[in-house]
Chains A and B, each alone.
Chain A
Amino acid sequence: MQKAKRKITGWRRVALVAASLVFAACFILSAYAVGVEFAPVSLKIDPSVRF
């Protein structure tokens, strides 16, 4: 007999999403801290805007 799937609802779903976001943020920050560069420094200049 097939076992019924258990649905995650309500506050459990909110907690799961929040935990995932925190995990992702920690992962990105850790990578950044050890020197992984996500994008080069992109230099933009606009000679038409003069000061």
Chain B
Amino acid sequence: MSGAWTFQDIGKDDAAAVGFAEKLYGDDGMRLDVVRYNVGAGTKELENGYEDGATRATESFFIAENYNSPASFSDPENYDFTRDAAALNVLDKCLDTGNVRTVVLFANSPHYLLTRNKKGNADREYESNLLRENYSAFADYMLIIADFFREKFSALENPPEIYISPVNEPQWKWGGEYATQEGCHFEPAELAEFYDVFYTRLCAYNKETGADIKPDFFESGNYGVTGLSKSHFAEYIAEFSRYDFFSELGHLSVHSYGANNGRLYRSQFNTYMKTRLPDLKVHMSEYCVMQGGLDESIDMGIYTAGVMMKDLTMISASQWCWWLGAATCGEGNGGWYEDGLLYYTADDGYSFFTTKRYFTLSQFTRYISAGDVRIKARTNDINGLDGMEVCAFEKPDKSVSVVLINHRSRTRKLKLPKGFRIAEASVTDADRNLADLSAQNLKIPANCVLSLRLVKE
């Protein structure tokens, strides 16, 4: 999940930051292991007019008063790492759980002083706001900030690995009068050229410092690969492949917007990746349900679990991140929105609450841990036509963690694979949240997400 926007609010209150971190990263919570830290463009210093601007505008470590030219961004003396203190506080609390293995430093827009119009969005839709002559300065901006985090993490017993994602959803318009958050559009050729500059700088930094910071490219707004897709995914890939950096990448990061609970879309993407880019892993780095309101029913929980299940099994996503770690009711953006893992109100102290989504997604982390390997799993329900979906992961001790989704409103009998018995079982359905089940005569409850840990008999 990402810390965009609300880290800088929650982190003002120490108890709230601890509560947040425990619910998402703690051993008694979801046990997540990836934090996406938003490296802001500094738009809190501007009259940006974002809806819900109190939280969507961001604080930057760069000291704008020291700015003389883009070269100012290459001088570490021009940074103040006591800034963004609330967001850093939440990150610290997440790290304190001991479960964070990866921190992704992601930017939605370059720092506003590096942009064409000195804002967090372009004046016009579909216009890149990063001046070409500032590509190096923006790369240095991200690397100096990454260096701060690397130093900070070096004091930890198990420092998390660091990824830098300087560009987010480059396909979308992001600019114009109605922009509601920081963002920056890049045409495919522009982005490839920027990535080449950035990657060269990153390699030089790693060589000089002995670090192993990795790039996280390209946070594609979706992964539609047909000619009809507005994301122009294949065009971006074609431009990247003209540069050496592309052959060095270990993964591509994509977002599941548009894919939702569909199968054809994923099948097309999987075929594309297998045939053209078989050596690249896939990270699903952002998803939320794009609709207003707050559906607290099991239906929404199962819907979201279905998205994650299909990303794991159909496009072999090796990392899966929900969008906002916590969301609140924005005054300017129409109220509640289906984008939070947690929700909170801050009217009378910070108070967190959950929806079924929190629990259905927790069913995946109940028995599956980082390092487990996904193995082939299926049921006699071909292609989920009868409402069953399944994935399975093998642990180093050869036990197998299984997650089953039953989309039907009927209880189902379960026949286990030969040679296995249930060691543990847990379920979330309309009436229960992460409830332990007896392994004896276990049935699959109606409309549920069920987790099993199987051991050999």
Contacts and interface: CB of A to CB of B under 8 A. Distances in A.
Contacts of A7: none
B379 A47 contact: no
B375 A45 contact: yes
A40 B376 CA distance: 20
A44 to B, nearest CB: 5
Greatest chain B CB density within 10 A among A41, A42, A46, A47 is at A41
A50 B373 contact: yes
Contact of B417 (A37, A43, A49): A43
B318 to A, nearest CB: 9
B414 A40 contact: yes
Interface stretch (B118-126, B143-151, B254-262, B388-396): B388-396
Given A41-B379, A45-B402, A51 B373 contact: yes
Contact of A37 (B375, B377, B400, B412): B412
A10 interface: no
Interface string B162-180: 0000000000000000000
B316 to A, nearest CB: 5
Contact of B444 (A35, A39, A41): A41
A49 B313 CA distance: 13
B379 A44 contact: yes
Instruction: Determine the interface band of chain A, counting residues with CB < 8 A from chain B.
Output: 10 to 19
Interface in B39-76: none
B416 interface: yes
A39 B316 contact: no
Nearest to A36: B410
A31 to B, nearest CB: 12
Interface string B291-331: 00000000000000000000000001000000000000000
A23 to B, nearest CB: 22
Contacts of B414: 40-41, 43
The B interface is mostly helix, strand or loop, or mixed, namely: strand
B207 interface: no
Contact of B316 (A40, A49, A51): A51
B402 A42 contact: no
Interface string A14-51: 00000000000000000000010101111111111111
Contact of B376 (A35, A39, A46): A46
Contacts of A43: 377, 379, 390, 402, 404, 414-417
Contact of B415 (A35, A42, A45): A42
Interface in B347-382: 373-381
A36 to B, nearest CB: 10
A40 to B, nearest CB: 4
Contact of A41 (B374, B398, B412): B412
A48 B420 CA distance: 15
Contacts of A35: 410
B413 interface: yes
A34 B400 CA distance: 34
Given A35-B410, A37-B413, A44 B377 contact: yes
Given A35-B410, A37-B412, A43-B414, 14 more contacts: A37-B413, A40-B415, A41-B415, A42-B380, A43-B379, A45-B417, A45-B420, A46-B375, A46-B376, A46-B377, A47-B400, A48-B375, A48-B376, A51-B375
Q: What 9 A-B pairs are tightest by C-beta distance, nearest first? A: A40-B413, A49-B376, A46-B376, A42-B415, A42-B380, A51-B374, A40-B415, A45-B377, A47-B375
24 contacts: A39-B380, A40-B413, A40-B414, A41-B379, A41-B380, A41-B381, A41-B388, A42-B415, A43-B402, A43-B415, A44-B378, A44-B379, A45-B400, A45-B454, A47-B375, A47-B394, A48-B376, A49-B375, A49-B376, A50-B373, A50-B374, A50-B375, A50-B394, A51-B376
